[in-house]
A and B are shown apart, each in its own frame.
Chain A
Amino acid sequence: MSLFFIVIRQLAEFQAMASSKKVITREEWEKRLSNVKVRKEDMNKLVMNFLVTEGYVEAAEKFRLESGTEPDIDLATITDRMAVKKAVQSGNVEDAIEKVNDLNPEILDTNPQLFFHLQQQRLIELIRNGKVEEALEFAQEELAPRGEENQGFLEELERTVALLAFEDVTNCPVGDLLDISQRLKTASEVNAAILTSQSHEKDPKLPSLLKMLIWAQNQLDEKATYPRINDLSTAALEDPAV
């Protein structure tokens, strides 16, 4: 029985619970769960949606062949999008910008915040590689105008430029900018923008489902004691304290 099945059935079960606080044993619970019907096709769609939105092209392709589930987006467009995401994640921001502009020149023209973050990432990469002079020139020519065009960016701009002032960049107050997590954040932002421009939902459905489960369990906690799923990764049912 896949974890997925368990999670979804758990969720469906909550919707049929009674109103007074009662204790439900594991046996009772599992019996109820087994009465809940979930379609395989729906689950496959959820999985495909996740793979496609996150950009796992090969996995999506394979899943399609093996399960017969059709993706709701052209897999070819995923390849382009993934190339951009990968470029940002590897620190090749200029390359990423060129690719985005080839894909859809409107994206960066109509997303000042995203464009600023990409420029910011470029500066970070120059600093990381020790190219101080080039970094200064870049900051002056490319980033300062962004701050002039939009005052909301000034604070972040100051933080980024502050990197140049420190000898030991990894241990300074703004050192978090050099983390890989910063690259991932920017990459995620680009990914979302491309999806939106292609009129696709930028968030996969699966996280919403899990959030719903957690919320529903919290609601039910007020009314009953029952086997809970506490670890989403294992979807294991933990016995109620009797």
Chain B
Amino acid sequence: MPTSATSNHPSRPEDLIGRLNSAHTPYEAKLKALRDLKNQIIGNRTKKLAFLKLGAVPSVVSILSSAAAAQGGGGDNREFYESVLIQSAAVIGSFACGLDAGVKAVLDAGAFPLLLSLISHLNEKVADAGARSLKLIYQSKRAPKYEFLQEKNMEFLLSLLNSKNENVTGLGANIITHSCQTTAEQQALSEAGVIKRLVGLLGGSINQKDASLESLAAMVKENPEVSAKFMGPENGRALNVVIELMKDKHPRTRLLACMCLISIRNTSTSYLQDSGIKNSLVSVLLELLDDPGPVGDEAPFVLSSLITEKEDMQKIAFNANLIEKLCEHLNAGSYQAKRLQGIFLLLGDLCSKLECCRDRVLDLQVLNFVTEALAHDSAEVRTAACNFLKNVSRSVKNLSAGQFMNEAVAVPLVRLLCDSSSSVQIAALGAISNIVVDFMAHKSVLVQCGGVKQLVQLSKSMESAIRVNAVWALRNLTFLVSYRCKEEILLELTSATLISLINDPEPSVQGQALALVRNLVDGTLNSINYVFGEDGAVLHAIARQLRSTSKVEVQIQGMYTLSNVASGNELHKEAVMNQLLPQAGNDAEKTLVKFLQSTDSRLCTATLWALINLTFPGSPGTCRRVTELRNAGIITQLKNMINDHCLDVKLRARMALGQLMIFGSVWTWYTSIKV
């Protein structure tokens, strides 16, 4: 059956653009083409992208430009030109709606100033069209930054906010929400009386309320002064109005009211802290999680901003059965990426500090969903799932029960170590770091699925954040691990890599590397032998780092490592001794004494342990070492420490002193007899 060639058939995109561009097309036909284009692209992301590629935006902008210029001449055609302005503005707005590529094209084509000029047009519909399109541009991150600090701009903004036209006031509010970022800007806006105007809008229509709430949240964010001003007497009972809006009919208004209140709460710890408001916020947001639309997608993020890092809020959320609700949602089936990300973000927040939450989450079998989430298309979902795992595995009880060291979790995690996104890699490393602290030593699972290889690979990454986390994971992996496992790890890692990590430019990496060695040499003599091999290069590197570093964390780890080595046999002790007190030069002596004189008790303690191990009775060379140490003036230093306020330091100093004195006296007695 032949299809009828009626006007129902949309024009081919190329033809449409052709008509817009051609100088031969009569103006009436261009108007029709504009309207046609508008109706094709509105709501249709695919078509927008297709038309963008064909260069639709510059064509439309040039039509807008010539119409704006032409209608200045007035006359009969005014109405016609106004129609062209309305239609072209609408097309431009639609390209910018929710599409970053569209916003870019629109700005690149120079539409911005043209649209601005439309706002003050006498024809309400033209003003509306211009304001709407600008509003849509300002909902995108790509919108040009509005410079509030310039007086003219501030005046213009105020004129927008004072307009009677809802689209224009909405534009003003959107500009604030988008561009207000620094404290200075917040201050300037506040001083210009913007708060009062925004509070006024809270009593307006639905759209005005929503726009105003978002702007207020942006203005008070992390700014205690502006926050206080908002709640001050000149703004009436503004805070109460916002609290009332938490019960508004419209879900989006409720969500934005919560967001605004949370912004205030997080800024000034003296406001909104009573249990009534805390419970209200949690229960309103909990209910909004069920919303099927965009509000339900946003709600988890707002709730997260309320509970993150706040144990009391997490407790309230837990008692309100948030975990059960999140599980319901997971069970309900496939969600859009954003919502899934939100769910895992919240689960992560809840498990960050509270054991009861971690227990509940594991009871409800949430781990069943994690495997899929770790392999999700969206990098944000993968990251959120990793962070959740990192937090829930802080549960020592469940960790040692082996809940996490299984194939369903370990294998996809290891795969993420070579993810294309570095933030996913870092998040995966964080999770692995915790999971490998597995007291049942099921660590072979990780080794088997190639985890060690990956971790070693990442420890050579150019990004320091990745290096540090990779070494941290290796460090945790080697904690209390079997000798065989240590062998495998060191085989993969190689001494050379270990040395380069100890000498890494980042102190944080140095610290983790030293802690790694410390774990590796912990245990039997074999461990020590294995790490130091024949040439003792690693030991040398450690000692050199100890001499040069100024970071106390690195010093502590280094000293404990040497201390562990010094607990070995005679050769080991001698090696450490040579590093700490070499025959030539004074610098090394100073290091030992310097560390003992440190104000950081942890460093003193670590150094004392090294001393204790070096002078432990029973080893043939102990006497000789004692003499060397005495000659270096250690006794005096130790005597200063025997009454230290820190118990660890006090007791270890006494022990070390005791050992030194015993040997000293025995030797003196022995030599005295001899002679």
Task: Give residues in A with beta carbon < 8 Å to B.
Answer: 94, 97-98, 101, 105-106, 108-113, 115, 130-134, 137, 142, 145, 148-152, 196-197, 199, 201
Contacts and interface: CB of A to CB of B under 8 A. Distances in A.
B90 A149 contact: no
Interface in B24-72: 35, 38-39, 42-47
A145 B46 contact: yes
Given A94-B8, A109-B98, A145-B44, A134 B39 contact: no
Contact of A105 (B44, B94, B206, B334): B94
17 contacts: A98-B35, A98-B39, A101-B90, A105-B38, A109-B94, A109-B97, A110-B98, A111-B43, A112-B43, A113-B293, A115-B42, A131-B3, A134-B3, A149-B46, A152-B336, A197-B207, A199-B166
- Chain A CB count within 10 A is highest, among B43, B132, B208, for B43
B93 interface: yes
B214 to A, nearest CB: 15
B250 to A, nearest CB: 8
B319 interface: no
Contacts of B336: 150-152
B3 A101 contact: no
B665 interface: no
Interface centre among A112, A132, A151 (most CB of B within 10 A): A112
A148 B49 CA distance: 14
Interface string B240-255: 0000000001000000
Contacts of B166: 199
Contacts, number: 63
Nearest to A104: B132
List of 10 A-B pairs having minimum Cβ-Cβ separation, nearest first: A199-B205, A115-B43, A145-B46, A108-B43, A109-B97, A105-B90, A199-B206, A134-B3, A108-B42, A109-B42
Contacts of A113: 293
Interface centre among A109, A132, A149 (most CB of B within 10 A): A109
B585 to A, nearest CB: 70
A197 B334 CA distance: 30
Contacts of B293: 113
Contacts of B207: 197, 199
Given A105-B94, A131-B1, A151-B334, 8 more contacts: A97-B39, A98-B35, A101-B90, A111-B43, A115-B44, A145-B47, A199-B205, A199-B206
Contact of A133 (B3, B8, B45, B93): B3
B219 to A, nearest CB: 23
A97 B39 CA distance: 8
B137 interface: no
Contacts of A196: 206
A109 B44 CA distance: 8
A196 B206 CA distance: 8
A68 B453 CA distance: 83
Interface of B: 1, 3, 8, 35, 38-39, 42-47, 90, 93-94, 97-98, 132, 136, 166, 205-208, 249, 293, 334, 336
Dominant secondary structure at the A interface: helix
Given A101-B42, A199-B205, A106 B3 contact: no
Contact of B132 (A106, A111, A133): A106
Given A131-B3, A151-B336, A199-B166, A105 B42 contact: yes
A99 B351 CA distance: 51
Contacts of B42: 97, 101, 105, 108-109, 115
A196 B205 CA distance: 10
Nearest to B95: A109
Contacts of A145: 44-47
B96 to A, nearest CB: 10
A106 B136 contact: yes
Contacts of B39: 97-98, 101
Contact of B1 (A106, A133, A197, A201): A133
Residue from the set B42, B46, B166, B205 with the largest chain A CB neighbour count within 10 Å: B42
B43 A109 contact: yes
A130 B1 CA distance: 10
Contacts of A134: 3, 8
B93 A149 contact: no
Query: Of A101, A131, A196, which is in contact with the most chain B CB atoms at under 10 Å from its CB?
Result: A101
A151 B45 CA distance: 14
B669 to A, nearest CB: 87
Contacts of A151: 334, 336
A110 B46 contact: no
Contact of B45 (A97, A149, A201): A149
Contacts of A142: 44
A94 B6 CA distance: 12
Contacts of B205: 199
Nearest to B96: A109
Contacts of B136: 106
Contacts of A132: 1
A134 B90 CA distance: 29
A136 B203 CA distance: 49
Nearest to B132: A106
Contacts of A111: 43
B87 to A, nearest CB: 9
Central interface residue in A94, A105, A132, A149, by most chain B CB within 10 Å? A105
A113 B42 CA distance: 13
Contacts of A108: 42-43
Contacts of A130: 1
Contacts of A115: 42-44
